[in-house]
A and B are shown apart, each in its own frame.
Chain A
Amino acid sequence: MSSKPSSSTPPPSVAMGRRAAGVSGAVLRGGGKRLLPFVYAAVTIAVIWELVVVITKPDAAILPSPWQSAQTFAHLVANGELARDVYASLRRVLSAWAGAAVIGIPLGLVMGYSHRFEKIADPFIELLRPISPLAWIPLAILWFGIGEIGKVFVVFIGTFFPIVLTTVAGVKSIDPTLINAGRVYGCTSGISLFRKVILPASLPSIVVGLRISFGMGWAAIIAAELVAAQSGLGFLIANGMEILRADEVLVGMVVIGVLGVMFDSVFRYAHRRLVWTE
């Protein structure tokens, strides 16, 4: 994106299309360089893993070789089980995370803007925040059983607080003259001020919060599925333990890690492209 057309501006729809094309293009181009450190780490882990297997010769049910695990991976891909589990976990995380964003961002915007409201809401946040989402799992099972709602609830708890707190911090860091400028230039109602100034001004922090919370949600869902689930990556590895299939456990773990890195890089990319910088 070095040359930008400055005089002849395309209509917004064309510009959007061009931007979208640029997005996928840049991912492909920049992908190789950014992938390299991960490839290096993965190869190192595989080599050490192989060495341990060769030297200690463990039972394959306890520690299979990388090659055996890769075969299990191929098998789980082929029979669709892995796709089913990834889909189940991802659906839970996405719905909980989106719900946390829908509630947490407006809450954070108002808390950051109004001292009075912050005084009312902040003690609850501070009191509940130190309780790990994992500590909510037993209660979630008691309340909602082992169905979908309980797991979504646990992820919601894990994603809600980082979203609220980063949004509050984002609003508080807004230069007050920007808010004054918004008011002088026509944002007479609170809603238009929020929509036109406060939300876009705090967007960089909000996007960071969304990214961090997604990572936390991804960690929380695995834990929730370990305890009570019939599907999902957490179920895959818990089940693998019970039926003495360490290869399935390892495949599940690797997939969790790789997907976690992928989601995070998508967020980083979105942050760089979509968010303004001062």
Chain B
Amino acid sequence: MLESIGKALRIRGLSKTYFTRSGEAVEALCPVNMDIRAGEFVAVVGPSGCGKSTLLQILAGITEPSAGEAYADDTRIHGPSIDRSMVFQNYALFPWLSVRRNVEFGLEHKGVPKAERREIAERYLKMVGLSAFADKQTNELSGGMKQRVAIARAFAVDPSVILMDEPFGALDALSRRLLQRELLRIWQEHRKTVLFITHSVVEAIYLADRIVVMTARPGRIRSEIEVDLEHPRDNTSPQFAELERDIYAQLDEELTRSFGLDQDA
């Protein structure tokens, strides 16, 4: 398959239809095609309920698509794999484990020996600036710290793809800015393929190489925008502002359509 060379994720005609209790079909995701290059940072923005989280869950292997297929490094995705780690909006740390053991969790299942596990966990905790908190319980941490632990957990298993589902959505504005910078630094250092879902247009422009704009439900890809700005990006620069205007205009159109407001005009 020549077309797949250098592509970490290949998505072909992927769709998802849910059935409500009354048997009504809800189309969450229209057939989606997408390619993501190895080492690329792709952000997905779209109105609520556009199926962007569903897309991510299918790629993580925790939800089965209704049709279509997705490939990670040319292997068809079927079920979860430690090669595609995930960062969840509500952190999803294991509260019965210490910070260190949370970071080691995936390594244990990869069969990494204990001493090495510990060493790797230390390294990634250092990367997110939480070395001093290794032996704390997770309930002793703030939201921003919890998400840093979750990021360390995601990178520690050395995956080829990291899926991030609105990872900073539950954080206050300051922690959010800090974690965006941290994530960018870590990504530049490790060059993992990242698929990042967000509601924040500014966040998407600040972080991503490419932004995928989704339509309102049922979600399709509306447009893809390459962000050709040098890091660190200045959100007051004219180029940044223009991208922001452009994406907001598209999203506004989608929202107007989804609320049926355009019919009045």
Contact = CB atoms under 8 A, between A and B. Distances in A.
Contacts, number: 76
A184 B109 contact: no
Contacts of A183: 61-62, 79-80
A242 interface: no
Given A4-B135, A6-B135, A276-B137, A186 B108 contact: yes
Interface residues of B, number: 32
B106 interface: yes
Contact of A186 (B62, B82, B95, B139): B82
A182 to B, nearest CB: 8
B14 interface: no
A278 to B, nearest CB: 5
Interface stretch (B1-9, B83-91, B251-259): B83-91
Interface in A199-214: 200-201, 203
Given A6-B135, A277-B139, A186 B88 contact: no
B92 interface: yes
Contact of A177 (B84, B90, B135, B153): B90
A185 B85 CA distance: 7
Contacts of B90: 175, 177
A13 interface: no
A234 B244 CA distance: 79
Report, nearest first, the 3 A-B pairs whose CB atoms are least far apart. A186-B109, A185-B106, A181-B92
Interface of A: 4-7, 9, 175, 177-178, 180-188, 192, 196-197, 200-201, 203, 276-278
Interface of B: 57, 60-62, 79-80, 82, 84-86, 88, 90, 92-97, 105-106, 108-110, 132-137, 139, 153, 157
